[in-house]
């Protein structure tokens, strides 16, 4: 893989992480306006699928062809675990745990990805990835100030760890589908079918409770609380810029980056969310949190320096 392709993959992941981080702020608008969280989640996944479907109809109808065999099984797993259950477990975790601890537990996903690649796939992993993950996790702990919430809800911890497994599954299954050396699926075909499965799953789980809040005017909150917008417009932003675009970019990056490096880079997401909280919602960003931001960024840079290394520097396959 060329250096330009690696940079392209990194740019895709960073853009996706930034969009997800900003979406953490936008999400508050329809929910604070009164939209129930289950309805929010089901709406987000269902309408994201509809957008992907319309894009496929307009630009690439081959993406509507149903995957077959192994690819179909992987798409089903991606839709259930990497789309539907990831949304469901994450939202339940942040309702039962302090947000910093929930994010820290969810972002154990890169550790799970590297462990899977090393010990299940039996592929070599550059030793530099391990301190990169440790540094990024330390940074997340500082950003989330996890010592402020050590009385933890047991169910909250379980579902946050489940979110980590689902997030890891998104990267690993997505890589298997879009970066297969045999017959890779396009990123668009992968998201169309996986979000279709995710939308069906979320609708079966329920969530169409009360849409009335989407018809109201919603405050933009924080420093922008003097402004109002239709709640449905904020929900549209969540679907297009907080779901469709970043999920597609993550999968597209798998053609250029390994799942282990992409998942470590995705740790930028909670850092962006904290910065959004500081800029938009006037949330205090302490010196310790600033140090944590720098640690996460350092961990990401360290992981990316392991992209191109001589074969003799890698450990042997397991």
Cα 294 to Cα 73, 196, 277: the distances in Å are 40, 38, 17
pLDDT of residue 231: 95
What distances in angstroms separate CA 16 from CA 157, 175, 262, one per listed residue?
26, 16, 11
pLDDT at 47 over 90: yes
Higher pLDDT, 232 or 132: 232
Q: Report the predicted TM-score, pTM, of the whole model to 2 decimal places.
A: 0.84
Does residue 212 have a pLDDT over 70?
yes
Q: What is the mean pLDDT of residues 18-34?
A: 90
Give the model's pLDDT for residue 79. Answer: 96
| pLDDT digit string, tens, across residues 70-121 | 899 999 999 999 999 998 888 888 777 767 677 777 888 888 888 888 888 8
**Tens digits of per-residue pLDDT, 145-201?**
767 655 567 788 889 889 999 999 998 998 888 876 667 889 999 999 999 999 999
pLDDT of the residue at 38: 84
């Amino acid at each position: 893989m060329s250096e330009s392709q690696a940079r392209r993959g990194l740019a895709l992941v960073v853009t996706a992480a930034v969009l997800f981080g900003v979406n953490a702020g936008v999400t508050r608008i329809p929910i604070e306006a009164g939209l129930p969280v289950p309805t929010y989640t089901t709406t987000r996944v269902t309408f994201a699928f509809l957008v992907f479907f319309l894009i496929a109809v307009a630009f690439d109808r081959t993406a509507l062809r149903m995957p077959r065999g192994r690819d179909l099984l992987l798409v089903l797993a991606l839709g259930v675990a990497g789309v539907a259950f990831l949304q469901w477990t994450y939202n339940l975790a942040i309702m039962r745990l302090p947000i910093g601890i929930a994010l820290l537990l969810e972002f154990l996903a890169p550790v799970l990805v590297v462990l899977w690649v090393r010990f299940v796939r039996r592929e070599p992993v550059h030793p530099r990835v391990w301190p990169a993950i440790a540094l990024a996790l330390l940074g997340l702990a500082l950003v989330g100030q996890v010592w402020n919430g050590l009385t933890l809800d047991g169910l909250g911890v379980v579902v946050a760890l489940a979110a980590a497994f689902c997030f890891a599954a998104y990267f690993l299954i997505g890589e298997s589908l879009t970066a297969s050396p045999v017959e890779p699926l396009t990123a668009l075909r992968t998201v169309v079918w996986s979000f279709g499965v995710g939308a069906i799953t979320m609708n079966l789980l329920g969530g169409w409770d009360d849409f009335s809040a989407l018809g109201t005017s919603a405050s933009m909150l924080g420093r922008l609380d003097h402004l109002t917008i239709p709640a449905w417009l904020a929900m549209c932003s969540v679907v297009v810029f907080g779901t469709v675009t970043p999920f597609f970019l993550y999968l597209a990056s798998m053609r250029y980056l390994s799942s282990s490096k992409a998942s470590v880079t995705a740790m930028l997401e909670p850092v962006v969310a904290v910065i959004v909280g500081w800029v938009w919602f006037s949330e205090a960003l302490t010196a310790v949190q600033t140090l944590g931001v720098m640690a996460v960024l350092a961990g990401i840079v360290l992981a990316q320096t392991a992209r191109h290394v001589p074969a003799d520097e890698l450990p042997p396959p397991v």
